[in-house]
Amino acid sequence: MQYIIVTGPKKAGKSRCLLKAAEKLKASAALGGVITRRTDETGDSREIVKPGGAETVPFCSRIEWDTGIPGDVFKNCHFYFSKSAFAKGNEWIRAGLGCDVFFIDEIGGLEMAEESECKWDFTLPLAQAGDKKQTLLFSVKESLVDEFIKKYNYGWKIFRTEAGDDISGKILSEIIL
């Protein structure tokens, strides 16, 4: 089992790095999990993407929006999130548990909050860890890396990115399929 974290400051390209890695791996590996992607230049709106696939779902926005589902949208910090998007992402997480490379983007305040109703169910792939040949590739908000590693100490290899960096090649060189 391999454990990899991608971290860096806001807008450093953590999600872009995971998307590039998934794109390069999709022909040679079974992929699972969830990655976020900007849907506009400013990053004010995002969608979730099934790694290596074409399936996407609107996820969050800095502007309040209507998903058409009553009570679906909630605000946390500067973003409005869709509960149904979290449900779809967690469905992808459960479906991808046995894959070769498993992505979760991003471990943030919602995921680290015990009482949070909506968050990525990232503990599922950690719980099934064992002798199997699999890579868990998570992005973790920079301010939460130490807390995350302290709580989930699995021997993580940490890659830090800065704005404009493309470290997807470095990460791919670490993945053993």
Q: Where are the domains of the chain?
A: 2-34+47-52+92-174
- pLDDT for 40 equals 85
**106 close to 15: Cβ distance less than 8 angstroms:** yes
Give the pLDDT of residue 117.
81
Q: 2-34+47-52+92-174 is classed in which CATH architecture?
A: 3-Layer(aba) Sandwich (3.40)
- The distance of Cα 54 from the centroid of its chain, to the nearest Å, equals 16
Q: In what order do the strands lie in the sheet with 73-76?
A: 73-76, 79-82, 56-61, 45-49, 31-38, 101-107, 135-140, 2-7, 157-160
Residue 8 near residue 160 (C-beta atoms within 8 A):
yes
Q: What is the pLDDT of residue 131?
A: 58
Taking only the tens of pLDDT, the chain with its 177 residues reads: 899 999 999 889 999 999 999 999 999 999 999 999 989 887 789 999 999 877 999 999 999 989 999 999 999 988 999 999 999 999 999 998 889 999 999 899 999 988 888 999 998 888 876 656 789 999 999 999 999 999 999 999 999 999 888 999 999 999 988
Is 30:100 a contact under the CB 8 Å cutoff?
Answer: yes
